[in-house]
Structures are given as structure tokens and as C-alpha cells.
A and B are shown apart, each in its own frame.
Chain A
Amino acid sequence: METSLLAFLLISLAKVIVVVVILLMAVAYTVLLERKLVGRIQNRWGPSRVGPFGLLQPLMDGAKLFLKEDLIPEAVYRPLYILAPIIALGCALMSIAVVPFGADIRWKGVDLFEIADVNIGLLIILGITSVGVYGIALSGWSSNNKYSLLGALRASAQVISYELALGLSLVGVVLRSGSLRLRDIVDVQSTHGLLSWNFFGGFQFVAFLIYLMAAYAETNRAPFDLPEAESELTAGYHTEYSSMKFAMFFMAEYGNMITVGCVATLLFFGGWTSPFGNLFPEPHNAILLSFLSLFWFVAKVFCFLFLYIWVRGTLPRFRYDQLMGFGWKFLIPVAVANIVVTSFFIGLRLPLH
């Protein structure tokens, strides 16, 4: 079915707006979830005063950050100081564009649950993540503050080191599905439910654990949060930022967390497919099908966010030399070994020409 350009543009614009609004709401409520959960882990309540169960807390925090005075210190290098939070948040929001959220349901020939369906979706996510580090690096440099600079240096070195392990860990998944398109990667895992997910059926659990650790380091989250280690660097790269500029870094961090959760879900846990596979027949009603696929996707991403916060509340921070040693001497060799073993088994199963 051919769609007119105007309809395509309008539907795409609507999709972008809906996804960005939902993503920003999800970011706000991930912050609340984190405060609640870390509170429970530390044997206290967390926010509970604003609204029932503290549910209105994120809105109040947002309003507070909006209304605060936006200080720009004297000695900063202004163009980059202003550009840095924009780069950070922009990259965090951009990579969600290639994530498919649900089954391939089309309305007037336009894919409803994905903004852009591209052949190299996985590479685009990797590319945007690798560019996102400029937000942190430039903020630290332009702040003209030694703590910020140290935080930015740590962030650059850490992201460069762990990006290798992250990329290598995904090769096994790509080998199994033979495609870089995220929908294809999910379709390979959709036949027998839980048993054909890459994590279980594809025997990619080693790759998954490497991906998880490398992704935590990429998003600068505990136990890899050295760029903002408050006991050593005040607040790290965003020491000199206030008001909305600080909030943009904050949103970028949580946006990246959600993207990592989405990618882990898509690559290792079957995306929007149900864990029961063909045990229950697939509903023929398109609306029911879209709700079910959205439900499974959101539930899986939620589990990853929960894990993120759980890890943050439990593990202490790495020492710097441990961080580098762990990345280069442990994760990368294991990732390479995983590629060798996976390609060996895939080669065994292929028919000889």
C-alpha cells in the first residue's frame, strides 16, 4: 500500500512527539523509582509526601529545576559550556528513534511502534552512544574547573575502553540473526518463546553479562560512576552546572539507562515477544496484539531499570586502575572468546557448500 508523503510526515511527527513525551515521563518516573528503591535498600522510605506514595515528586522536582536561577560562571568557555548539555540530552533522546517497541503493526502502511525502521539499527545505536560522550567531555573541559576536567577525562577514557567490549559482545547476537536490523534480531527469537531468546536458546548469556557491565560503564552508572564520584570530585563533570542545564545531564543519564534497557530487551530477551511462545495462540485482534506486545516490552525494560537501581544500591564504586584492568583484561578477552565459540557453533550447523 502506497502512502502519501504528507500522511507519512504527519504520522512520523506524531510518533516522534508521543515517543519523546513518553520517554521524558519515563525518565522522570525512573528517578522516582530510583529514589524509592534506594530508600528501601537503605532502610528508609524515600519520597512519600508529595501526592500519594510520592507520585507527584518528579513533577515538583522538574518545576523546581525550571525555576532555579541559571548561573553561568565567569571563567567558562561559553559556547561549549552551553552546547555540552544539549549534545548529551540530544544523543540520549535520538537513539530511541530506531528502537521497535512492539509487533510489526501497520496503519496506512506506516509502522506504528517504531519511529524509523533502518537496516543498520544496531550500528546507529552504537554510533549515537559513541558520540554522546562529547556532552560529558566538553562540559568538563569548558567548565574551567579541575574537578570537572578530571571527571570529563575519566568519562572519556572509560567510555572509549568499554565501548570495545560493548561492541564485541553484540557480535554473537548479530551472527545468530544474520542482520543488524532490530526487527530481524527479534524475529529470530520469536519462535519458541523463552527457549529461543538469545539469552537462553542462543547461549548468549556470556555476551549478555558483558553487555550489561559495559553498558553500565557507558552510562556512567554505579559501580562505574567515577566521572561523578562525589567523594573525590565534588560532582564531577557537572559541578559548574545549575538549573535546567544540570537537569539536562540528569535526564540524559536516565534516558541512556532506558535505551540500554530497550537494547538489552531487544537483543537478548526477545523484545516484545511473549516468553510463552506458541503455548498460547497469538491473538488475531490487532489492538489486543499491540497491547500485549507493548506490555511485554515495557515489563522487560522495567526489569532492567530495576536491576540498574538494585546494582547501584548494592555495589561499591570501582577504583580507577581496577576499572581499566577489568575492561581491558577481562571483558574484552571474554567477549572475543564468546565470538569465537559462537561462530564455531554456527559454522558447525551451516550446510557445507
Chain B
Amino acid sequence: MHLALFIIFAGLCVAGALNLLLQRHPINSALSLIVVMSSLAVLYLLLGAEFLAAAQVIVYSGAIMVLFTFVIMLLNAGKEERTHGSRLAYIAGFPGAAALLGLLTYIFLSHSATFGQARLGEYLATTDDISRVLFRDLLLPFEVTSVLILIAILGAVALARKEH
């Protein structure tokens, strides 16, 4: 049951991500991104992170992607034009991506013996557990992050303000 759900939603996630890149119309790309976000939420749920799954849907699929579609609708963005891409991307991009992938694979394979194993649907992290970790064990990083976000908000307000 869990494995079937995992295969379905992992496939949906990858398909959405590919569609995001291949679609030429921005609204279709945005909708594919929503599919990716929502299927990620299901994957979180399968791993037992229920709060994270709900937050993923509310914040990413709900709020952030609504803003994306809002901007696309507001600008009434049309179809993209196909370009040949920059030469730099061909020269540096593909080898760079391949090198990164190789490096990650190497590290993963060389350390795979020390990783623990998580089975699907085995463990359930309740909201209580998450809040205990966030507000007690990791309180300082959490608060520092919130200050960082506050600074970002103030910066956005300062940039958007009209000149007097």
C-alpha cells in the first residue's frame, strides 16, 4: 500500500518536474510546479511527517504558488520563445552538472553503509514532536531564522515603498 502510493506520487513528482521544464506557457509550468509540490507533500506524509506535509500544501501549493499564478495572470505572460540557450551553459553547465551528480553519487555510495534505514509508513512524527524539537532543542537557530525572515520582509517593504 505504502509502496504503491510512493511509486505513484514519486512518478507524478518527476513527471511534473519534467513538464515544468518542457512546457512553453508559463501558466502550465506554474501548474506543473503545483503538482510537484503537492506530490512532495504526499511523500512527506508517507515518511510520517504529517505536519510538514500539511505545511507544504498550505505554504507552497497554497500561498506561494498562488502568488506565482497571480503574477503570471497580472502580466498576462504569453508563450516563451525558443532560444538556443547561451554558449556558456553548454560549455560549463553540462559538465558541471555531470560532475556534481558524480560527486554526490560517490559520497552517497561510499557512506551508504553508515546511513540508517527508514521504512515507509513505519514512523510517525507528530506535531508535538516537531514543536519540541523546534522550540526547545533548536530554539536559537529557529529564532535566528525568524529574524532573518523579518529582515527580508522589512527589505521588501523598503524597496516597494514610494519615494516621497
Query: Counting CB contacts under 8 A, is B90 at the interface?
Result: no
Chain A interface residue count, Cβ-Cβ cutoff 8 angstroms: 26
On whether the beta carbons of A180 and B127 are closer than 8 Å, the reply is yes
Given contacts A119-B127, A123-B54, contact A130 B62 (CB under 8 A): yes
Given contacts A130-B66, A134-B66, A137-B73, contact A120 B58 (CB under 8 A): no
CA distance A137 to B68 in the complex (A): 11
Query: Counting CB contacts under 8 A, is B92 at the interface?
Result: no
Contacts of A138 in B (CB 8 A): 27, 31, 69
Kindly report which residue of chain B lies nearest to residue A150, judged by CB atoms: B73
Size range of the chain B interface in the assembly: 20 to 34
Contacts of B63 in A (CB 8 A): 130, 160, 163
Query: Counting CB contacts under 8 A, is A131 at the interface?
Result: yes
Kindly report which residue of chain A lies nearest to residue B38, judged by CB atoms: A131
A-B contact pairs, 11 of them (CB 8 A): A80-B27, A127-B54, A131-B57, A134-B34, A134-B69, A137-B69, A141-B27, A141-B72, A141-B73, A153-B74, A156-B66
CA distance A62 to B81 in the complex (A): 45
Query: Counting CB contacts under 8 A, is A96 at the interface?
Result: no
CA distance A156 to B74 in the complex (A): 11
On whether the beta carbons of B66 and A127 are closer than 8 Å, the reply is no
A195 to chain B, nearest CB (A): 28
Kindly report which residue of chain B lies nearest to residue A144, judged by CB atoms: B76
Kindly report which residue of chain B lies nearest to residue A159, judged by CB atoms: B66
CA distance A167 to B67 in the complex (A): 18
Q: Which one of A127, A130, A140, A163 contacts B73 once the chains associate, using CB atoms below 8 Å?
A: A140
Contacts of B76 in A (CB 8 A): 149
Query: Counting CB contacts under 8 A, is B126 at the interface?
Result: yes
Query: Counting CB contacts under 8 A, is A286 at the interface?
Result: no
On whether the beta carbons of A157 and B70 are closer than 8 Å, the reply is yes
Kindly report which residue of chain B lies nearest to residue A142, judged by CB atoms: B27
Contacts of A180 in B (CB 8 A): 127
A82 to chain B, nearest CB (A): 14
Q: Measuring CB to CB, which residues of chain A are less than 8 angstroms from any residue of chain B?
A: 80, 118-120, 123-124, 126-127, 130-131, 133-134, 137-138, 140-141, 149, 152-153, 156-157, 159-160, 163, 167, 180
Given contacts A130-B58, A130-B61, contact A137 B127 (CB under 8 A): no
B102 to chain A, nearest CB (A): 38
- Give me 10 other A-B pairs in contact (C-beta within 8 A), A126-B54, A127-B58, A149-B76 excluded: A120-B51, A123-B58, A127-B61, A137-B66, A138-B27, A156-B66, A156-B73, A157-B70, A160-B66, A160-B70
On whether the beta carbons of B54 and A120 are closer than 8 Å, the reply is yes
Given contacts A130-B57, A134-B34, contact A123 B51 (CB under 8 A): yes
A133 to chain B, nearest CB (A): 6
Kindly report which residue of chain B lies nearest to residue A79, judged by CB atoms: B28
Instruction: Report the 3 A-B pairs with minimum CB-CB distance, sorted nearest first.
Output: A130-B62, A123-B54, A127-B57
Contacts of B74 in A (CB 8 A): 153
Contacts of B57 in A (CB 8 A): 127, 130-131
CA distance A130 to B34 in the complex (A): 12
Contacts of B55 in A (CB 8 A): 123
B15 to chain A, nearest CB (A): 16
Given contacts A119-B126, A119-B127, A180-B127, contact A137 B70 (CB under 8 A): yes
Contacts of B31 in A (CB 8 A): 80, 138
CA distance A180 to B126 in the complex (A): 10
Kindly report which residue of chain B lies nearest to residue A127, judged by CB atoms: B57
On whether the beta carbons of B69 and A156 are closer than 8 Å, the reply is yes
Given contacts A130-B57, A131-B57, A141-B27, contact A160 B73 (CB under 8 A): no
Contacts of A156 in B (CB 8 A): 66, 69-70, 73
Q: Which one of A126, A137, A149 contacts B58 once the chains associate, using CB atoms below 8 Å?
A: A126
CA distance A131 to B35 in the complex (A): 11
On whether the beta carbons of B62 and A131 are closer than 8 Å, the reply is yes
CA distance A141 to B76 in the complex (A): 9
A215 to chain B, nearest CB (A): 15
Contacts of A163 in B (CB 8 A): 62-63
Given contacts A127-B57, A130-B63, A131-B62, contact A119 B69 (CB under 8 A): no
CA distance A153 to B69 in the complex (A): 9
Q: Looking at A118, A130, A163, which has the most chain B CB atoms within 10 Å of its CB? A: A130
Given contacts A80-B27, A119-B126, A119-B127, contact A153 B66 (CB under 8 A): no
On whether the beta carbons of A152 and B54 are closer than 8 Å, the reply is no
Contacts of B70 in A (CB 8 A): 137, 153, 156-157, 160
Contacts of B69 in A (CB 8 A): 134, 137-138, 141, 156
